[in-house]
Amino acid sequence: MFKTLLRPLLGKGKFPAELLLELHSEGVEFFEEGIWGTITFINYKAPGRRSAWRRSAFVGAIALTSQRIVAFGRSERLLDLPFTHPTIKVVDFRLESPGSFFASFEASHFHSDRSGKIELRFSTSQAAQIMDLLQKRIS
């Protein structure tokens, strides 16, 4: 019940229409919206933002196409990474539990004006399926 009350405050957890069109044109292999998640910033520095440690919850979405992985939440793309991009090797993708998908990376790998660690966690019963698809695409 608590999550039901918070849902309007934490977002709809849906991809924007224009991004949906892009994803479908690439061939969607996995798609889930309305997923509960958290984003954690550790020793994070960006223009106008600093945080030793901060975690916030959101309702988001994950998609894997034949070309990339996209994670969306907080009205922004949290992760949008082609499988052919060299930095995909520096992202720590794993299962934290059977129902939790985890991705962690250094902000400086993606933005020259940022530093610190970013951790994304998504609570989904499909976490193992996401990892299987990722492992096939990355290796």
Tell me which range, 7-11, 22-26, 74-78, is most confidently predicted by mean pLDDT. 22-26
pLDDT cut 90: percent of the chain above it: 88
Convert the pLDDT of each residue in 69-81 to its tens digit.
Answer: 999 998 899 999 9
Residue 90 gets the label, from left (phi > 0), alpha (psi -120 to 50) or beta, of alpha
| 2 band by pLDDT with thresholds 50, 70 and 90 | very low
Residues 100-106 have a mean pLDDT of: 98
The 8-class DSSP code of residue 86 comes to: G
User: Above 80 in pLDDT, residue 102?
Assistant: yes
Between 2 and 41, residue with greater pLDDT: 41
Residues 120-125 have a mean pLDDT of: 97
Nearest to 46 by CA among 104, 111, 121, 90: 111
SS3 91: coil
- Cross-strand pairs, 40: 55, 119
Average pLDDT, the chain: 91
| 56 band by pLDDT with thresholds 50, 70 and 90 | very high
Give the whole-angstrom CA distance, residue 17 versus residue 136.
Answer: 28
User: Above 90 in pLDDT, residue 61?
Assistant: yes
Residues 31-36 have a mean pLDDT of: 96
| 11 band by pLDDT with thresholds 50, 70 and 90 | low
Among the four given CATH numbers 1.20.120, 2.30.29, 1.10.357, 1.10.1740, the one describing domain 2-138 = 2.30.29
User: Above 80 in pLDDT, residue 16?
Assistant: yes
